[in-house]
A and B are shown apart, each in its own frame.
Chain A
Amino acid sequence: MAEALLELGVMFAAIAGVGALANRLGQSVIPFYIVAGMVLGEFVLGRVALPVVGTTYIPESEFIAIGAELGIVFLLFFLGLEFNLDRLLARRRQIGTAGTIDLANFGAGFVLGWLVFGAFLPAFLIAGIVYISSSAVITKSLIDLGWIANDEAEPMLGTLVYEDLFIAVYLAVASAIALGGGDVGAAAVDVGIAIGFILGLLGLVQFGTPAFARLVDTTNREFIALRSIATVVLVAGGALALGVSEAVAAFFVGMAFASTDHTHEIETLLEPVRDTFAAVFFFWIGLVTDPLLFGGVAALIALAVIVTTPTKLITGFLAGRAFDLNARRSTRVALGMTTRGEFSLIIATIAVTAGEAGAFDPALAATINAFAVGYVLVMAILGTTLMQYSEPFESAVASWLDRSEPAGDGESSG
Protein backbone atom coordinates (compact mmCIF):
# COMPACT_ATOMS: atom_id res chain seq x y z
CA MET A 1 0.00 0.00 0.00
CA ALA A 2 2.71 2.45 1.07
CA GLU A 3 4.74 1.52 -1.98
CA ALA A 4 1.82 2.03 -4.37
CA LEU A 5 1.07 5.45 -2.89
CA LEU A 6 4.71 6.43 -3.17
CA GLU A 7 4.74 5.33 -6.83
CA LEU A 8 1.70 7.50 -7.50
CA GLY A 9 3.40 10.38 -5.71
CA VAL A 10 6.47 9.99 -7.91
CA MET A 11 4.24 9.81 -10.99
CA PHE A 12 2.35 13.01 -10.17
CA ALA A 13 5.55 14.80 -9.14
CA ALA A 14 7.12 13.85 -12.48
CA ILE A 15 4.02 14.98 -14.38
CA ALA A 16 3.91 18.29 -12.53
CA GLY A 17 7.65 18.83 -13.04
CA VAL A 18 7.78 18.14 -16.79
CA GLY A 19 4.53 20.08 -17.24
CA ALA A 20 6.22 23.20 -15.88
CA LEU A 21 9.25 22.53 -18.08
CA ALA A 22 7.08 22.18 -21.21
CA ASN A 23 5.33 25.42 -20.38
CA ARG A 24 8.64 27.22 -20.03
CA LEU A 25 9.78 25.88 -23.41
CA GLY A 26 6.52 26.98 -25.01
CA GLN A 27 5.72 23.39 -25.97
CA SER A 28 2.65 21.23 -25.47
CA VAL A 29 2.71 19.17 -22.26
CA ILE A 30 1.60 15.97 -24.00
CA PRO A 31 4.97 14.76 -25.38
CA PHE A 32 6.60 15.60 -22.05
CA TYR A 33 4.11 13.52 -20.05
CA ILE A 34 4.69 10.59 -22.42
CA VAL A 35 8.47 10.78 -22.13
CA ALA A 36 8.21 11.05 -18.33
CA GLY A 37 6.20 7.81 -18.28
CA MET A 38 8.64 6.13 -20.62
CA VAL A 39 11.69 7.15 -18.58
CA LEU A 40 10.22 6.14 -15.21
CA GLY A 41 8.76 2.85 -16.50
CA GLU A 42 10.13 -0.67 -16.72
CA PHE A 43 11.60 -0.17 -20.19
CA VAL A 44 14.08 2.57 -19.21
CA LEU A 45 14.47 2.94 -15.45
CA GLY A 46 13.67 -0.76 -15.08
CA ARG A 47 16.69 -1.64 -17.20
CA VAL A 48 19.29 0.31 -15.24
CA ALA A 49 20.70 -0.49 -11.83
CA LEU A 50 20.81 2.62 -9.65
CA PRO A 51 23.66 2.92 -7.13
CA VAL A 52 21.76 2.81 -3.82
CA VAL A 53 18.24 1.54 -4.46
CA GLY A 54 19.09 -0.99 -7.16
CA THR A 55 16.58 -1.47 -9.95
CA THR A 56 13.37 0.37 -9.24
CA TYR A 57 10.70 1.75 -11.52
CA ILE A 58 7.01 2.61 -11.69
CA PRO A 59 5.13 -0.51 -12.79
CA GLU A 60 1.93 -0.34 -14.82
CA SER A 61 -0.30 -0.74 -11.77
CA GLU A 62 -4.01 -1.36 -12.06
CA PHE A 63 -4.68 2.10 -10.67
CA ILE A 64 -2.59 3.81 -13.36
CA ALA A 65 -4.23 1.69 -16.08
CA ILE A 66 -7.74 2.57 -14.80
CA GLY A 67 -6.68 6.20 -14.38
CA ALA A 68 -5.59 6.23 -18.02
CA GLU A 69 -8.95 4.74 -18.99
CA LEU A 70 -10.69 7.54 -17.06
CA GLY A 71 -8.46 10.00 -18.91
CA ILE A 72 -9.82 8.74 -22.24
CA VAL A 73 -13.38 8.86 -20.91
CA PHE A 74 -13.06 12.45 -19.66
CA LEU A 75 -11.27 13.67 -22.80
CA LEU A 76 -14.12 12.38 -24.95
CA PHE A 77 -16.75 13.52 -22.44
CA PHE A 78 -15.46 17.09 -22.78
CA LEU A 79 -15.39 16.78 -26.55
CA GLY A 80 -19.09 15.91 -26.41
CA LEU A 81 -19.79 18.64 -23.87
CA GLU A 82 -18.24 21.27 -26.12
CA PHE A 83 -19.62 19.80 -29.33
CA ASN A 84 -22.35 21.98 -30.72
CA LEU A 85 -24.34 20.64 -33.64
CA ASP A 86 -25.99 24.03 -34.24
CA ARG A 87 -22.56 25.60 -34.65
CA LEU A 88 -21.60 22.92 -37.17
CA LEU A 89 -24.85 23.42 -39.09
CA ALA A 90 -24.62 27.22 -39.01
CA ARG A 91 -21.38 27.10 -41.02
CA ARG A 92 -22.02 23.72 -42.65
CA ARG A 93 -20.92 24.83 -46.11
CA GLN A 94 -17.48 26.02 -45.01
CA ILE A 95 -16.87 23.44 -42.28
CA GLY A 96 -18.24 20.71 -44.54
CA THR A 97 -15.86 21.67 -47.36
CA ALA A 98 -12.84 22.02 -45.08
CA GLY A 99 -13.60 18.81 -43.18
CA THR A 100 -14.25 16.75 -46.30
CA ILE A 101 -10.99 17.89 -47.90
CA ASP A 102 -9.29 16.94 -44.61
CA LEU A 103 -10.50 13.32 -45.06
CA ALA A 104 -7.79 12.96 -47.73
CA ASN A 105 -5.40 12.44 -44.82
CA PHE A 106 -7.38 9.37 -43.79
CA GLY A 107 -7.01 7.99 -47.31
CA ALA A 108 -3.29 8.72 -47.37
CA GLY A 109 -2.85 6.99 -44.00
CA PHE A 110 -4.83 3.97 -45.17
CA VAL A 111 -2.73 3.56 -48.29
CA LEU A 112 0.44 3.94 -46.23
CA GLY A 113 -0.74 1.37 -43.66
CA TRP A 114 -1.81 -1.06 -46.36
CA LEU A 115 1.53 -0.83 -48.16
CA VAL A 116 3.43 -1.46 -44.91
CA PHE A 117 1.24 -4.08 -43.18
CA GLY A 118 -0.76 -5.52 -46.08
CA ALA A 119 -3.86 -6.03 -43.92
CA PHE A 120 -7.08 -4.12 -43.36
CA LEU A 121 -7.11 -3.52 -39.60
CA PRO A 122 -3.54 -2.16 -39.18
CA ALA A 123 -4.12 0.08 -42.23
CA PHE A 124 -7.43 1.26 -40.76
CA LEU A 125 -5.75 2.10 -37.42
CA ILE A 126 -2.81 3.90 -39.08
CA ALA A 127 -5.32 5.88 -41.15
CA GLY A 128 -7.09 7.08 -37.99
CA ILE A 129 -3.82 7.85 -36.18
CA VAL A 130 -2.47 10.11 -38.94
CA TYR A 131 -5.87 11.63 -39.78
CA ILE A 132 -6.87 13.21 -36.50
CA SER A 133 -5.28 16.50 -35.49
CA SER A 134 -4.89 17.35 -31.83
CA SER A 135 -7.64 19.60 -30.42
CA ALA A 136 -5.78 20.04 -27.14
CA VAL A 137 -2.41 21.06 -28.57
CA ILE A 138 -3.80 23.23 -31.38
CA THR A 139 -6.22 25.08 -29.09
CA LYS A 140 -3.46 25.78 -26.58
CA SER A 141 -1.14 27.11 -29.30
CA LEU A 142 -3.93 29.30 -30.72
CA ILE A 143 -4.39 30.91 -27.31
CA ASP A 144 -0.65 31.21 -26.57
CA LEU A 145 0.09 32.87 -29.92
CA GLY A 146 -2.96 35.13 -29.85
CA TRP A 147 -4.20 33.65 -33.13
CA ILE A 148 -7.44 32.87 -31.33
CA ALA A 149 -8.60 36.43 -32.08
CA ASN A 150 -7.69 36.14 -35.78
CA ASP A 151 -9.66 34.69 -38.67
CA GLU A 152 -7.40 31.63 -38.96
CA ALA A 153 -8.83 30.26 -35.70
CA GLU A 154 -12.18 29.55 -37.35
CA PRO A 155 -11.17 27.02 -40.04
CA MET A 156 -8.90 25.29 -37.52
CA LEU A 157 -11.54 24.94 -34.82
CA GLY A 158 -14.19 24.19 -37.45
CA THR A 159 -12.16 21.37 -39.00
CA LEU A 160 -11.50 19.98 -35.52
CA VAL A 161 -15.27 19.85 -34.87
CA TYR A 162 -15.72 17.86 -38.11
CA GLU A 163 -12.88 15.53 -37.11
CA ASP A 164 -14.43 15.02 -33.68
CA LEU A 165 -17.68 13.84 -35.21
CA PHE A 166 -15.85 11.56 -37.64
CA ILE A 167 -13.68 10.09 -34.89
CA ALA A 168 -16.70 9.28 -32.70
CA VAL A 169 -18.06 6.99 -35.40
CA TYR A 170 -14.56 5.75 -36.30
CA LEU A 171 -13.71 4.71 -32.71
CA ALA A 172 -16.93 2.71 -32.45
CA VAL A 173 -16.23 0.86 -35.70
CA ALA A 174 -12.48 0.41 -35.12
CA SER A 175 -12.83 -1.00 -31.60
CA ALA A 176 -15.59 -3.36 -32.75
CA ILE A 177 -13.40 -4.66 -35.58
CA ALA A 178 -10.28 -4.90 -33.39
CA LEU A 179 -12.03 -6.73 -30.55
CA GLY A 180 -13.73 -8.96 -33.13
CA GLY A 181 -10.33 -10.26 -34.15
CA GLY A 182 -9.61 -8.04 -37.12
CA ASP A 183 -11.79 -10.06 -39.48
CA VAL A 184 -14.14 -7.55 -41.10
CA GLY A 185 -16.73 -10.20 -42.00
CA ALA A 186 -16.85 -11.71 -38.52
CA ALA A 187 -16.82 -8.25 -37.00
CA ALA A 188 -19.92 -7.20 -38.92
CA VAL A 189 -22.14 -8.24 -36.00
CA ASP A 190 -19.97 -6.31 -33.54
CA VAL A 191 -20.03 -3.28 -35.80
CA GLY A 192 -23.81 -3.69 -35.95
CA ILE A 193 -23.99 -3.70 -32.14
CA ALA A 194 -21.70 -0.65 -32.00
CA ILE A 195 -23.84 1.29 -34.47
CA GLY A 196 -27.01 0.19 -32.65
CA PHE A 197 -25.46 1.45 -29.41
CA ILE A 198 -24.58 4.79 -31.05
CA LEU A 199 -28.15 5.14 -32.32
CA GLY A 200 -29.41 4.36 -28.82
CA LEU A 201 -27.11 7.04 -27.39
CA LEU A 202 -28.24 9.51 -30.07
CA GLY A 203 -31.82 8.83 -28.98
CA LEU A 204 -30.71 9.49 -25.41
CA VAL A 205 -29.16 12.81 -26.49
CA GLN A 206 -32.29 13.73 -28.44
CA PHE A 207 -34.95 12.78 -25.91
CA GLY A 208 -33.09 12.41 -22.63
CA THR A 209 -32.18 16.06 -22.06
CA PRO A 210 -34.92 16.69 -19.45
CA ALA A 211 -33.66 13.69 -17.45
CA PHE A 212 -30.05 14.89 -17.65
CA ALA A 213 -31.12 18.41 -16.74
CA ARG A 214 -33.02 17.16 -13.67
CA LEU A 215 -30.02 15.10 -12.63
CA VAL A 216 -27.75 18.13 -12.30
CA ASP A 217 -30.42 20.66 -11.33
CA THR A 218 -29.04 21.45 -7.89
CA THR A 219 -27.01 24.31 -6.48
CA ASN A 220 -24.73 21.90 -4.62
CA ARG A 221 -21.51 21.84 -6.65
CA GLU A 222 -20.36 18.61 -5.06
CA PHE A 223 -23.51 16.83 -6.25
CA ILE A 224 -23.26 18.26 -9.77
CA ALA A 225 -19.68 16.98 -10.05
CA LEU A 226 -20.45 13.57 -8.57
CA ARG A 227 -23.62 13.01 -10.58
CA SER A 228 -22.06 13.92 -13.91
CA ILE A 229 -18.98 11.76 -13.16
CA ALA A 230 -21.27 8.91 -12.12
CA THR A 231 -23.29 9.15 -15.34
CA VAL A 232 -20.37 9.28 -17.73
CA VAL A 233 -18.29 6.57 -16.02
CA LEU A 234 -21.31 4.30 -15.61
CA VAL A 235 -22.38 4.58 -19.25
CA ALA A 236 -18.76 4.24 -20.47
CA GLY A 237 -18.26 1.15 -18.30
CA GLY A 238 -21.52 -0.33 -19.53
CA ALA A 239 -20.49 0.29 -23.11
CA LEU A 240 -17.13 -1.42 -22.61
CA ALA A 241 -18.86 -4.39 -20.97
CA LEU A 242 -20.98 -4.70 -24.13
CA GLY A 243 -17.85 -4.54 -26.28
CA VAL A 244 -18.56 -1.00 -27.49
CA SER A 245 -16.00 1.81 -27.33
CA GLU A 246 -16.16 3.54 -23.93
CA ALA A 247 -14.76 6.69 -25.53
CA VAL A 248 -17.72 6.99 -27.90
CA ALA A 249 -20.19 6.41 -25.06
CA ALA A 250 -18.50 9.19 -23.08
CA PHE A 251 -18.70 11.50 -26.11
CA PHE A 252 -22.47 11.06 -26.37
CA VAL A 253 -23.03 11.46 -22.63
CA GLY A 254 -21.13 14.75 -22.96
CA MET A 255 -23.41 15.77 -25.83
CA ALA A 256 -26.47 14.96 -23.72
CA PHE A 257 -25.21 17.19 -20.89
CA ALA A 258 -24.36 19.90 -23.42
CA SER A 259 -28.07 20.60 -23.99
CA THR A 260 -28.70 21.31 -20.30
CA ASP A 261 -28.26 24.69 -18.62
CA HIS A 262 -25.42 23.35 -16.51
CA THR A 263 -22.84 22.81 -19.28
CA HIS A 264 -20.63 25.64 -18.17
CA GLU A 265 -20.75 24.62 -14.53
CA ILE A 266 -19.90 20.99 -15.32
CA GLU A 267 -17.01 22.16 -17.49
CA THR A 268 -15.63 24.38 -14.74
CA LEU A 269 -16.01 21.69 -12.08
CA LEU A 270 -14.63 18.77 -14.07
CA GLU A 271 -11.84 20.47 -15.99
CA PRO A 272 -9.24 19.73 -13.28
CA VAL A 273 -10.52 16.14 -13.11
CA ARG A 274 -10.10 15.77 -16.87
CA ASP A 275 -6.63 17.33 -16.82
CA THR A 276 -5.49 15.07 -13.99
CA PHE A 277 -6.62 11.84 -15.61
CA ALA A 278 -5.59 12.91 -19.11
CA ALA A 279 -2.07 13.44 -17.72
CA VAL A 280 -2.23 9.94 -16.21
CA PHE A 281 -3.29 8.64 -19.64
CA PHE A 282 -0.28 10.21 -21.39
CA PHE A 283 2.02 8.98 -18.62
CA TRP A 284 0.54 5.49 -18.93
CA ILE A 285 1.06 5.48 -22.70
CA GLY A 286 4.73 6.19 -21.97
CA LEU A 287 4.86 3.43 -19.34
CA VAL A 288 3.62 0.73 -21.72
CA THR A 289 5.77 1.85 -24.64
CA ASP A 290 9.15 0.20 -25.01
CA PRO A 291 11.48 2.76 -26.62
CA LEU A 292 13.55 -0.12 -28.03
CA LEU A 293 10.57 -0.79 -30.33
CA PHE A 294 11.16 2.64 -31.87
CA GLY A 295 14.14 1.14 -33.67
CA GLY A 296 11.82 -1.24 -35.50
CA VAL A 297 9.25 1.43 -36.40
CA ALA A 298 11.63 4.35 -36.98
CA ALA A 299 11.41 3.90 -40.73
CA LEU A 300 7.63 3.77 -40.58
CA ILE A 301 7.48 6.86 -38.36
CA ALA A 302 9.81 8.74 -40.71
CA LEU A 303 7.75 7.66 -43.71
CA ALA A 304 4.51 8.71 -42.02
CA VAL A 305 5.96 12.10 -41.04
CA ILE A 306 7.25 12.66 -44.59
CA VAL A 307 3.92 11.67 -46.18
CA THR A 308 1.35 13.05 -43.75
CA THR A 309 2.95 16.40 -42.93
CA PRO A 310 2.57 17.61 -46.54
CA THR A 311 -0.93 16.10 -46.87
CA LYS A 312 -2.09 17.95 -43.75
CA LEU A 313 -0.36 21.11 -44.97
CA ILE A 314 -2.28 20.94 -48.25
CA THR A 315 -5.65 20.08 -46.73
CA GLY A 316 -5.13 22.72 -44.04
CA PHE A 317 -4.29 25.35 -46.62
CA LEU A 318 -7.40 24.45 -48.64
CA ALA A 319 -9.46 24.58 -45.42
CA GLY A 320 -8.27 28.15 -44.97
CA ARG A 321 -9.24 28.91 -48.56
CA ALA A 322 -12.69 27.35 -47.98
CA PHE A 323 -13.12 29.99 -45.26
CA ASP A 324 -12.07 32.71 -47.75
CA LEU A 325 -8.80 33.43 -45.99
CA ASN A 326 -5.79 34.90 -47.78
CA ALA A 327 -2.62 32.92 -48.49
CA ARG A 328 -0.87 34.10 -45.32
CA ARG A 329 -3.63 33.02 -42.96
CA SER A 330 -4.31 29.80 -44.89
CA THR A 331 -0.65 28.93 -44.38
CA ARG A 332 -1.11 29.30 -40.64
CA VAL A 333 -4.09 26.93 -40.76
CA ALA A 334 -1.91 24.48 -42.70
CA LEU A 335 0.98 24.64 -40.20
CA GLY A 336 -1.30 24.28 -37.18
CA MET A 337 -3.30 21.34 -38.47
CA THR A 338 -0.15 19.18 -38.77
CA THR A 339 -0.22 18.78 -34.98
CA ARG A 340 -1.31 15.29 -33.88
CA GLY A 341 -1.83 14.32 -30.27
CA GLU A 342 -4.24 12.77 -27.82
CA PHE A 343 -6.70 11.16 -30.24
CA SER A 344 -3.99 9.36 -32.21
CA LEU A 345 -2.91 7.82 -28.90
CA ILE A 346 -6.49 6.86 -28.00
CA ILE A 347 -6.73 5.04 -31.33
CA ALA A 348 -3.46 3.24 -30.54
CA THR A 349 -4.92 2.01 -27.25
CA ILE A 350 -7.57 0.16 -29.28
CA ALA A 351 -4.74 -2.00 -30.64
CA VAL A 352 -3.26 -2.44 -27.14
CA THR A 353 -6.62 -3.40 -25.62
CA ALA A 354 -7.39 -5.84 -28.43
CA GLY A 355 -3.90 -7.30 -28.08
CA GLU A 356 -4.39 -7.85 -24.34
CA ALA A 357 -7.79 -9.43 -25.00
CA GLY A 358 -6.14 -11.88 -27.38
CA ALA A 359 -8.17 -10.70 -30.36
CA PHE A 360 -5.20 -9.12 -32.09
CA ASP A 361 -1.60 -10.18 -32.56
CA PRO A 362 0.16 -8.66 -29.47
CA ALA A 363 3.39 -8.06 -31.37
CA LEU A 364 1.53 -6.14 -34.06
CA ALA A 365 -0.38 -4.22 -31.36
CA ALA A 366 2.91 -3.24 -29.69
CA THR A 367 4.29 -2.12 -33.05
CA ILE A 368 1.25 0.04 -33.81
CA ASN A 369 1.36 1.53 -30.31
CA ALA A 370 5.08 2.30 -30.62
CA PHE A 371 4.43 3.85 -34.02
CA ALA A 372 1.61 6.03 -32.65
CA VAL A 373 3.67 7.21 -29.68
CA GLY A 374 6.74 7.99 -31.79
CA TYR A 375 4.62 9.69 -34.44
CA VAL A 376 2.77 11.83 -31.86
CA LEU A 377 6.04 12.80 -30.15
CA VAL A 378 7.34 14.08 -33.50
CA MET A 379 4.12 15.68 -34.75
CA ALA A 380 3.11 17.39 -31.49
CA ILE A 381 6.49 19.10 -31.22
CA LEU A 382 6.76 19.74 -34.97
CA GLY A 383 3.27 21.26 -35.15
CA THR A 384 3.76 23.50 -32.11
CA THR A 385 7.14 24.64 -33.42
CA LEU A 386 5.82 25.32 -36.94
CA MET A 387 3.10 27.52 -35.42
CA GLN A 388 5.63 29.43 -33.31
CA TYR A 389 7.93 30.07 -36.26
CA SER A 390 5.28 30.50 -38.95
CA GLU A 391 6.55 33.82 -40.31
CA PRO A 392 9.03 32.56 -42.98
CA PHE A 393 6.50 30.00 -44.26
CA GLU A 394 3.79 32.66 -44.52
CA SER A 395 6.04 35.00 -46.48
CA ALA A 396 7.26 32.21 -48.74
CA VAL A 397 3.76 31.00 -49.59
CA ALA A 398 2.40 34.50 -50.03
CA SER A 399 5.18 35.58 -52.40
CA TRP A 400 5.11 32.26 -54.28
CA LEU A 401 1.35 32.54 -54.81
CA ASP A 402 1.67 36.18 -55.83
CA ARG A 403 4.12 35.23 -58.53
CA SER A 404 2.08 32.31 -59.85
CA GLU A 405 -1.13 34.32 -59.70
CA PRO A 406 -0.24 37.62 -61.33
CA ALA A 407 -3.92 38.59 -61.36
CA GLY A 408 -3.56 39.11 -57.61
CA ASP A 409 -6.21 36.58 -56.66
CA GLY A 410 -4.05 35.30 -53.83
CA GLU A 411 -4.04 38.22 -51.47
CA SER A 412 -7.40 39.78 -50.93
CA SER A 413 -7.64 42.73 -48.67
CA GLY A 414 -10.97 43.59 -47.26
Chain B
Amino acid sequence: MPITESDLPGVGKKFEINLDDGEMVVVIHNTGKREVFRRPNPDADSEKVFEFSDDLARTIGSIIEGAHFQPVEPATQETTLPGGILLEWYELHPGSPLIGETLESADIGNRTGLAVVAIQRDDEVIDSPGAQTTLREGDTLIGVGTPENCEAFEEILTG
Protein backbone atom coordinates (compact mmCIF):
# COMPACT_ATOMS: atom_id res chain seq x y z
CA MET B 1 0.00 0.00 0.00
CA PRO B 2 2.32 2.79 -1.18
CA ILE B 3 1.29 6.24 0.01
CA THR B 4 2.84 9.32 -1.60
CA GLU B 5 2.84 12.51 0.41
CA SER B 6 3.51 15.89 -1.19
CA ASP B 7 3.30 19.54 -0.21
CA LEU B 8 0.92 21.97 -1.86
CA PRO B 9 2.45 25.39 -1.10
CA GLY B 10 -0.18 27.76 0.26
CA VAL B 11 -2.85 25.05 0.27
CA GLY B 12 -1.81 22.14 2.45
CA LYS B 13 -0.74 18.56 1.84
CA LYS B 14 -1.69 15.87 -0.65
CA PHE B 15 -1.69 12.12 0.00
CA GLU B 16 -1.99 9.66 -2.88
CA ILE B 17 -2.97 6.12 -1.93
CA ASN B 18 -2.77 3.26 -4.41
CA LEU B 19 -5.81 1.02 -4.32
CA ASP B 20 -6.57 -2.13 -6.29
CA ASP B 21 -8.92 -0.28 -8.62
CA GLY B 22 -7.22 3.08 -9.05
CA GLU B 23 -5.98 5.76 -6.72
CA MET B 24 -7.40 7.72 -3.83
CA VAL B 25 -6.17 11.27 -3.29
CA VAL B 26 -6.68 13.05 0.02
CA VAL B 27 -6.04 16.79 0.15
CA ILE B 28 -5.76 18.26 3.64
CA HIS B 29 -6.09 22.03 3.48
CA ASN B 30 -4.31 24.36 5.89
CA THR B 31 -7.78 25.43 6.97
CA GLY B 32 -8.50 21.88 8.18
CA LYS B 33 -10.83 21.07 5.30
CA ARG B 34 -10.37 17.57 3.82
CA GLU B 35 -11.16 16.66 0.23
CA VAL B 36 -11.19 13.06 -0.94
CA PHE B 37 -10.73 12.40 -4.66
CA ARG B 38 -10.76 9.22 -6.67
CA ARG B 39 -9.18 8.47 -10.01
CA PRO B 40 -9.50 5.22 -11.94
CA ASN B 41 -5.86 5.32 -13.15
CA PRO B 42 -2.85 7.60 -12.59
CA ASP B 43 -3.45 9.41 -15.88
CA ALA B 44 -7.11 10.19 -15.31
CA ASP B 45 -8.52 13.34 -13.76
CA SER B 46 -9.31 13.25 -10.08
CA GLU B 47 -13.00 13.32 -9.27
CA LYS B 48 -14.01 14.75 -5.94
CA VAL B 49 -15.94 12.24 -3.87
CA PHE B 50 -16.19 13.81 -0.43
CA GLU B 51 -15.49 17.04 1.35
CA PHE B 52 -15.32 17.12 5.14
CA SER B 53 -14.76 19.74 7.80
CA ASP B 54 -11.94 19.09 10.26
CA ASP B 55 -14.29 17.79 12.97
CA LEU B 56 -16.29 15.56 10.67
CA ALA B 57 -13.10 14.15 9.10
CA ARG B 58 -11.77 13.17 12.54
CA THR B 59 -15.04 11.50 13.51
CA ILE B 60 -15.20 9.56 10.24
CA GLY B 61 -11.51 8.73 10.54
CA SER B 62 -12.00 7.20 13.97
CA ILE B 63 -14.96 5.14 12.73
CA ILE B 64 -12.89 3.76 9.83
CA GLU B 65 -9.96 3.16 12.16
CA GLY B 66 -12.26 0.91 14.19
CA ALA B 67 -12.29 2.93 17.38
CA HIS B 68 -15.97 2.12 17.95
CA PHE B 69 -16.32 -1.39 16.55
CA GLN B 70 -13.68 -3.89 15.52
CA PRO B 71 -14.94 -7.21 14.18
CA VAL B 72 -11.38 -8.53 13.84
CA GLU B 73 -8.88 -8.35 16.70
CA PRO B 74 -5.59 -7.17 15.25
CA ALA B 75 -2.37 -8.98 16.25
CA THR B 76 -0.79 -5.90 17.74
CA GLN B 77 -2.05 -2.47 18.53
CA GLU B 78 -0.07 0.64 17.98
CA THR B 79 -0.48 4.36 18.14
CA THR B 80 2.08 6.76 16.78
CA LEU B 81 3.01 9.61 19.10
CA PRO B 82 4.42 12.88 17.73
CA GLY B 83 8.04 12.31 16.65
CA GLY B 84 7.44 8.79 15.37
CA ILE B 85 7.52 7.13 18.81
CA LEU B 86 5.12 4.18 19.05
CA LEU B 87 2.81 3.32 21.89
CA GLU B 88 2.17 -0.42 21.58
CA TRP B 89 0.58 -3.11 23.65
CA TYR B 90 1.40 -6.83 23.69
CA GLU B 91 -0.34 -9.79 25.29
CA LEU B 92 1.79 -12.49 26.93
CA HIS B 93 0.54 -15.65 25.26
CA PRO B 94 1.24 -19.11 26.77
CA GLY B 95 4.80 -20.21 25.96
CA SER B 96 6.30 -16.76 25.92
CA PRO B 97 9.79 -16.89 27.48
CA LEU B 98 9.00 -13.74 29.42
CA ILE B 99 6.38 -15.47 31.62
CA GLY B 100 7.68 -15.88 35.17
CA GLU B 101 10.48 -13.36 34.70
CA THR B 102 10.55 -10.09 36.61
CA LEU B 103 11.05 -6.87 34.71
CA GLU B 104 14.56 -6.78 36.21
CA SER B 105 15.53 -10.32 35.22
CA ALA B 106 13.98 -9.98 31.75
CA ASP B 107 16.04 -6.81 31.32
CA ILE B 108 13.67 -5.53 28.64
CA GLY B 109 14.92 -1.96 28.78
CA ASN B 110 18.56 -2.81 28.13
CA ARG B 111 17.91 -5.58 25.63
CA THR B 112 15.33 -3.82 23.46
CA GLY B 113 15.12 -0.14 24.44
CA LEU B 114 11.37 -0.45 24.95
CA ALA B 115 10.03 1.16 28.14
CA VAL B 116 7.22 -0.80 29.79
CA VAL B 117 5.00 1.94 31.17
CA ALA B 118 2.06 -0.12 32.40
CA ILE B 119 0.80 -3.70 32.72
CA GLN B 120 -2.84 -4.64 32.43
CA ARG B 121 -3.65 -7.72 34.50
CA ASP B 122 -7.28 -8.85 34.42
CA ASP B 123 -9.25 -5.79 35.48
CA GLU B 124 -6.43 -3.93 37.18
CA VAL B 125 -3.74 -1.73 35.69
CA ILE B 126 -0.27 -1.62 37.23
CA ASP B 127 1.14 1.69 36.11
CA SER B 128 4.88 2.36 36.25
CA PRO B 129 5.55 -1.26 37.23
CA GLY B 130 8.59 -1.71 39.50
CA ALA B 131 11.64 -3.82 38.66
CA GLN B 132 10.40 -6.67 40.90
CA THR B 133 7.06 -7.02 39.11
CA THR B 134 6.70 -10.61 37.86
CA LEU B 135 5.17 -11.09 34.42
CA ARG B 136 2.32 -13.60 34.17
CA GLU B 137 0.55 -15.36 31.38
CA GLY B 138 -2.29 -13.20 30.02
CA ASP B 139 -0.69 -9.90 31.04
CA THR B 140 -0.89 -7.06 28.54
CA LEU B 141 2.30 -5.00 28.46
CA ILE B 142 2.03 -1.40 27.34
CA GLY B 143 5.33 -0.13 25.96
CA VAL B 144 6.73 3.04 24.46
CA GLY B 145 9.65 3.10 22.04
CA THR B 146 10.91 3.57 18.51
CA PRO B 147 9.78 1.14 15.79
CA GLU B 148 13.20 -0.59 16.18
CA ASN B 149 12.67 -0.99 19.96
CA CYS B 150 9.25 -2.52 19.32
CA GLU B 151 10.65 -4.91 16.74
CA ALA B 152 13.41 -6.03 19.13
CA PHE B 153 10.83 -6.58 21.87
CA GLU B 154 8.58 -8.63 19.60
CA GLU B 155 11.53 -11.00 19.10
CA ILE B 156 12.12 -11.68 22.80
CA LEU B 157 8.35 -11.80 23.40
CA THR B 158 7.96 -14.94 21.31
CA GLY B 159 11.48 -16.24 21.99
Contact = CB atoms under 8 A, between A and B. Distances in A.
Given A146-B37, A149-B25, A268-B31, A87 B7 contact: yes
Contacts of A353: none
Interface string A142-183: 110011111001100110110000000000000000000000
Contacts of B48: 146, 149
Nearest to B45: A150
B7 to A, nearest CB: 5
Contacts of B11: 139, 142-143, 148, 157
Main secondary structure of the interface of A (DSSP, over half): helix
Interface of A: 82-84, 87, 135, 139, 142-143, 146-150, 153-154, 157-158, 160-161, 264, 267-268, 271, 326, 413-414
Contact of A414 (B10, B25, B42): B42
A159 B9 CA distance: 10
Contacts of A157: 8-11
Contacts of A326: 43
Contacts of A268: 30-31
B138 to A, nearest CB: 42
A154 B6 contact: yes
Nearest to A152: B45
B9 A148 contact: no
A267 B46 contact: no
B9 A161 contact: yes
A413 B43 CA distance: 6
A149 B30 contact: no
A153 B29 CA distance: 14
Q: How many B residues touch the partner, as a band?
A: 20 to 34
Contact of A149 (B10, B27, B31, B43): B27
A301 to B, nearest CB: 28
A153 B27 CA distance: 12
A146 B31 contact: no
A112 B97 CA distance: 81
A27 B86 CA distance: 47
Closest 7 CB pairs of A and B: A149-B46, A149-B37, A149-B25, A82-B10, A157-B9, A146-B48, A87-B7
Interface string B39-59: 100110111100000000000
B14 A84 contact: no
Nearest to A86: B7
- Counting chain B CB atoms within 10 Å of each CB, the highest count among A149, A154, A413 belongs to A149
A158 B6 CA distance: 12
B82 to A, nearest CB: 11
A148 B31 contact: no
B35 interface: yes
B37 to A, nearest CB: 4
A16 to B, nearest CB: 20
Contacts of B47: 146
Given A148-B14, A414-B42, A84 B27 contact: no
Contact of B14 (A82, A139, A146, A149): A149
A153 B14 CA distance: 10
Given A148-B14, A149-B37, A414 B9 contact: no
Nearest to B29: A143
Contacts of A149: 14, 25, 27, 35, 37, 39, 46, 48
Contacts of A150: 45-46
A264 B12 CA distance: 10
B28 to A, nearest CB: 11
Nearest to B35: A149
5 contacts: A146-B37, A146-B45, A146-B46, A326-B43, A414-B43
B9 A87 contact: yes
Given A157-B8, A271-B31, 14 more contacts: A87-B7, A87-B9, A135-B10, A139-B11, A146-B48, A147-B46, A148-B11, A148-B27, A149-B35, A150-B46, A157-B11, A158-B9, A264-B30, A413-B43
A139 B27 contact: no
Nearest to A414: B42
B79 to A, nearest CB: 21
Nearest to A146: B48
Nearest to A88: B9
